[in-house]
């Protein structure tokens, strides 16, 4: 299994019209999609993925999965077409 460490990664993602509201600003809840894509890419960079982690922990905690409980987000600037999230 890969060793996990805190690291900063940059995950560029295209913003589509469907990600925005009427003002062409990324709808706030859609930022969670971008974060999940970044997390998935981070795991891939570490040489693993969610499926492998679930299988590996299956013996210790059968039927468990990864759940995000609390989340606090500080929006620093709006995202939109031509403005990366």
Domain span at 46 = 23-70
Least confident residue range of 19-23, 26-30, 66-70: 66-70
Please count the structural domains in the chain: 1
Q: Which residues contact 42 (CB under 8 A, 6 or more apart)?
A: 7, 9, 11
Please report whether residue 80 resides in a domain: no
Q: Give the active site residues.
A: 21
Please report whether residue 28 resides in a domain: yes
Q: How far apart are CA 77 and CA 85, in angstroms?
A: 8
Please report whether residue 9 resides in a domain: no
Burial of 43 from C-beta contacts in 10 A (0-12 / 13-18 / 19+): middle
Q: What is the pLDDT of residue 7?
A: 63
Q: Which residues contact 34 (CB under 8 A, 6 or more apart)?
A: 11, 13, 79, 85
Least confident residue range of 2-6, 14-18, 76-80, 81-85: 2-6
Please report whether residue 14 resides in a domain: no
Q: Fill in the DSSP letter of residue 24.
A: S
Please report whether residue 18 resides in a domain: no
* Residue 6 pLDDT greater than 80, yes or no: no
Please report whether residue 62 resides in a domain: yes
pTM of the predicted protein model: 0.65
């Amino acid at each position: 299994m890969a060793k996990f460490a805190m690291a900063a990664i940059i995950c560029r993602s295209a913003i589509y019209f469907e990600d925005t509201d009427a003002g062409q600003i990324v709808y706030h809840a859609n930022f969670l999609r971008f974060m999940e894509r970044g997390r998935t890419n981070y795991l891939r960079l570490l040489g693993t993925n969610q499926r492998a982690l679930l299988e590996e922990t299956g013996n210790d905690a059968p039927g468990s999965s990864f759940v995000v409980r609390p989340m606090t987000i500080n929006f620093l600037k709006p995202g939109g077409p031509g403005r990366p999230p």
